[in-house]
Chains A and B, each alone.
Chain A
């Protein structure tokens, strides 16, 4: 064992002068970063975060509406943890990692008043994980998996119901991390099917459809998202029809429209890559079976095309999730915007901007890293990148 470690150190530092120089440089760099990081952590005061937990998580949603956020959290933790066991079955190492992250989150965001609800959340999570583990060898698991998939599909509408039923708070009051999650799920939920259509349109043999789809995709991709969001703020209401009060829609809905359009253009581009990778023989075979266009597309082409691009799709979705932080331009108080405001709000938090920012970054990072791990799992199971 010791021998192995020595060998490792030897390998790292010897071989060539170049190798030694690089290793030494890496050690200095690592030392510098870790030293600064430890210095930052030991010198920081987290009051700026702990006093503004509510704002960070749910924004300006009134206190008496908090139960909505809690029930969403409970449902999604049930979903996440049972699917974790059911579809991913993480290794011990990964489980420890997840446990650590959950603990850190609890540490940051638990208050005296919410400790009871946090415990419920933790119980739901572990219970659903254990339940799935328990039934994973029984025949019920197939039904259970179907139920999970069904629930995943209807999660976004369910969340909306929870937010809107019984005279819920105005969308402009949604904020914090909740807003980022909602915006991202809507953008992906609407943008992905749309993107599919646009990709097929762009690959279509009919020139009219092809041109229109191409123009759409390239125009949207041409300008930065902030510019489009600004358009949603300034100009979109003037272009919406007057009837049904469509031109009076909330700015949150406008952000959703723009984000969905944006997502659709980017996913279309990704899926197009998948479509191009399909061997021509597949299409010819389908044609020779005399399948019509719809069957051919939905059974032969799309499943293959999407399978190839799943990793790229997930990284597009990660991008969309990160891009939801740009809604600050619409004066929406999303997680990052809250993180920017709170250090300046109170004189006692002077100079605590880095603390607030690091917690915000951590929250974004968790979701992104979870998704990107998912993507690399898919990639591995498909055997890409192992050559």
Chain B
């Protein structure tokens, strides 16, 4: 026994061995905890079988998926997922623009401009997003009621039921899908060609020549895309026609509106709130990154005779981009997660639809795992995409 203790104490004198023991004990505890969780979870129903049954409830905003209440719960769920992606995509783009603008404004020598940016950040960053969402909803509900709706000719209808804009609509030729595929192909083709031409230009140091014409990569790509799509449009006998919104009275004299692209108050409220709230954070990121650049950069640029505007767009922003992107990614992830707050204003994004499903089925846990999984994959997608951009940006500098 004594010998054993001696040996053990000798063995444990090495840090590596001791670390091993710590880890094994730690893992054992975690294992016990997980085991406990699984034991508890096994008492609950964990399958998603009920997702195959009829949904039975309507969804106000459908996009891409043609959802009706006769479909199963999966399609209801994916309608929600698409609604989430839709609002997040638009919000991310606009928030980045506003954030950059305001971040630059914050450092502007124009006192008026920088004060506005300062007030914007200090006021809107420090109130909860939820309040802002509800605020925008109230504002959108204050648009004219449908009986007093504003119309611009017959192109735009504005009421608190939604703002309707002209939109393309598939005509009855049934070739709209083929047209979409052709457009997709044209985009890919244009990209490939312009990439190839640009590469050639980089390598050869001169523009690629065809029949003695200098070909610019970007221009050629755009041209090819335009030519293909216009040709396809006429060859397929106008697969899409313009869908004009309309405001009309039914037989009872009630006003209704339909057609066109609908920008609903719910979508507007969540979009505005997300853009403006996230914009404040992006402003601070942009400001911080530009400020952290050495002062010599600005001075050198100005002494070269560049204007303030040029200094900002050519010298400072591209350099700042490197330290902007990682925190920016974080803000995009936050924005995506924050979109779940649309549940309070009747915008049917994925969280709200899953709540309805949870309620109708009475099985909360598996649906919760599905929500978790969906948000994690959305986050992963954003991170991977931003990492790609980040890699490109950091490579340019070196």
Least CB separation from A368: chain B residue: B126
| A238 engages B127 (CB within 8 Å) | no
Select which of A22, A205, A364, A387 is within 8 A of B131 by beta carbon: A364
Q: Is B249 an interface residue (CB 8 A)?
A: no
Known: A212-B30, A387-B295. A227 touches B368 (CB 8 A): yes
Interface string of B6-43 (1 = CB under 8 A from A): 00000000000001001110110010000001001101
| A224 engages B338 (CB within 8 Å) | yes
Q: How far is the CB of B100 from chain A (nearest CB, A)?
A: 15
A residues less than 8 Å from B351 (CB atoms):
224, 226-227
Q: Is B268 an interface residue (CB 8 A)?
A: no
B residues less than 8 Å from A23 (CB atoms):
110, 112-113
| A234 engages B365 (CB within 8 Å) | yes
Q: Is B169 an interface residue (CB 8 A)?
A: no
Bound complex: CA A16 to CA B376 (Å): 48
| A326 engages B365 (CB within 8 Å) | no
Q: How far is the CB of A269 from chain B (nearest CB, A)?
A: 9
Which of A96-104, A142-150, A354-362 binds B? A354-362
Q: Is A208 an interface residue (CB 8 A)?
A: yes
| B113 engages A206 (CB within 8 Å) | no
Which of A25-33, A56-64, A157-165, A187-195 binds B? A25-33
Q: Is A8 an interface residue (CB 8 A)?
A: yes
Known: A11-B109, A19-B110, A234-B368. A387 touches B126 (CB 8 A): no
Q: How far is the CB of B340 from chain A (nearest CB, A)?
A: 4
Which of A79-87, A118-126, A317-325 binds B? A317-325
B residues less than 8 Å from A208 (CB atoms):
23-24, 26-27
Bound complex: CA A360 to CA B129 (Å): 12
| A369 engages B122 (CB within 8 Å) | yes
| B379 engages A239 (CB within 8 Å) | no
Select which of A231, A235, A322 is within 8 A of B127 by beta carbon: A322
B residues less than 8 Å from A387 (CB atoms):
291-292, 294-295
| B126 engages A207 (CB within 8 Å) | no
| A16 engages B365 (CB within 8 Å) | no
Query: How many interface residues does B have (CB within 8 Å)?
Result: 57
Bound complex: CA A27 to CA B113 (Å): 9
Q: How far is the CB of B125 from chain A (nearest CB, A)?
A: 8
Q: Is B230 an interface residue (CB 8 A)?
A: no
Bound complex: CA A212 to CA B110 (Å): 50
Q: Is the interface of A mostly helix, strand, loop or mixed?
A: helix
Select which of B23, B24, B112, B341 is within 8 A of A27 by beta carbon: B112
Select which of A12, A221, A227 is within 8 A of B340 by beta carbon: A227
Bound complex: CA A207 to CA B26 (Å): 11
Interface string of A203-223 (1 = CB under 8 A from B): 001111100100000010111
Q: How far is the CB of B269 from chain A (nearest CB, A)?
A: 13
Q: How far is the CB of A79 from chain B (nearest CB, A)?
A: 22
Q: Is B318 an interface residue (CB 8 A)?
A: no
Bound complex: CA A19 to CA B77 (Å): 49
Q: Is A365 an interface residue (CB 8 A)?
A: yes
Bound complex: CA A47 to CA B63 (Å): 42
Bound complex: CA A234 to CA B112 (Å): 51
Bound complex: CA A13 to CA B291 (Å): 25
Least CB separation from A321: chain B residue: B128
| A235 engages B26 (CB within 8 Å) | no
Bound complex: CA A114 to CA B126 (Å): 29
Bound complex: CA A11 to CA B355 (Å): 56
Bound complex: CA A318 to CA B288 (Å): 19
Within 8 A of A (CB), among B108-126: 108-113, 116, 122-123, 125-126
Q: How far is the CB of A244 from chain B (nearest CB, A)?
A: 16
A residues less than 8 Å from B111 (CB atoms):
8, 11-12
| B340 engages A26 (CB within 8 Å) | no
Bound complex: CA A230 to CA B368 (Å): 9
Within 8 A of A (CB), among B326-358: 333, 337-338, 340-341, 343-344, 351, 355, 358
Interface string of B296-327 (1 = CB under 8 A from A): 00000000000111000000000000000000
Known: A12-B112, A365-B126. A238 touches B375 (CB 8 A): no
Select which of A26, A209, A318, A353 is within 8 A of B116 by beta carbon: A26
| A325 engages B110 (CB within 8 Å) | no
* 9 cross-chain pairs, A with B, having the tightest CB-CB distances, nearest first: A368-B126, A224-B337, A234-B364, A208-B23, A322-B128, A224-B340, A222-B376, A26-B112, A325-B128
Can you give 26 A-B contacts (C-beta < 8 A)? A22-B110, A26-B113, A27-B112, A205-B19, A207-B23, A208-B23, A208-B24, A209-B22, A223-B376, A227-B375, A234-B358, A234-B364, A238-B43, A239-B41, A322-B126, A329-B343, A336-B128, A353-B134, A361-B131, A364-B127, A364-B128, A365-B127, A369-B126, A372-B122, A372-B125, A387-B294
Residues in A lying within 8 Å of B, measured CB to CB = 8, 11-12, 16, 18-19, 22-23, 26-27, 29-30, 205-209, 212, 219, 221-227, 230-231, 234-235, 238-239, 318, 322-323, 325-326, 328-329, 336, 340, 353-354, 357, 360-361, 364-365, 368-369, 372, 385, 387
Known: A11-B109, A227-B340, A385-B288. 16 other contacts (CB 8 A): A26-B110, A26-B112, A30-B116, A208-B24, A209-B22, A223-B337, A223-B372, A224-B337, A225-B337, A227-B351, A227-B371, A230-B355, A325-B131, A361-B127, A364-B126, A369-B126
